[in-house]
């Protein structure tokens, strides 16, 4: 039997986005209400018959931000079914600190999290780290 895997979903609370960002989505014709509350996410995943899914955090940028704790707690409700990705915006000066915050948030929140081991090239350079590996932060 084939499994349906949705490899890029979002789940966030109203306060994780700015009014300006919601207006921009509307101007660009993004479908839907611009909301992705946990209850809505649950319903859409179940309605679509998705077996496994990835929840990608909105990076901290221009007032938008899905905290890594929120994503870790959410995917923790679906052991073996959900994978969470924390993200940082490479143009933010505090990207290295945000990456480290995400690392500790994942480790402290979800027992099934794998310790993130890399960050974006730009963030790695800012933190004085090697830039040989791609950004990957996941929890499953």
Give the tens place of pLDDT for each residue, 27-39. Answer: 888 767 777 899 9
Residue 95 pLDDT class (50, 70, 90 cuts) = confident
Total number of domains constituting the chain: 1
Q: How many CA atoms lie within 13 A of 137 on its CB side?
A: 27
pLDDT at 118: 45
Confidence of residue 108 (pLDDT cuts 50, 70, 90): confident
Global model pTM greater than 0.85: no
Range of the domain at 13: 5-139
d(Cα 10, Cα 13) in Å, to the nearest integer? 10
């Amino acid at each position: 039997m084939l499994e349906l895997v949705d490899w890029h979903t979002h789940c966030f609370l109203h306060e994780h986005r700015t009014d300006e960002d919601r207006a921009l989505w509307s101007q660009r014709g993004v479908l839907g209400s611009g909301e992705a509350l946990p209850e809505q996410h649950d319903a859409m995943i179940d309605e679509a018959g998705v077996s496994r899914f990835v929840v990608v955090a909105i990076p901290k940028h221009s007032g938008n931000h899905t905290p890594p704790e929120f994503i870790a707690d959410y995917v923790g409700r679906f052991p073996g079914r959900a994978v969470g990705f924390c993200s940082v915006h490479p143009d933010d000066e505090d990207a290295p600190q945000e990456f480290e915050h995400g690392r500790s948030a994942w480790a402290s929140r979800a027992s099934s999290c794998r310790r993130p081991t890399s960050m974006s090239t730009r963030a790695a350079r800012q933190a004085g780290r090697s830039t040989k590996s791609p950004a990957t932060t996941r929890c499953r």
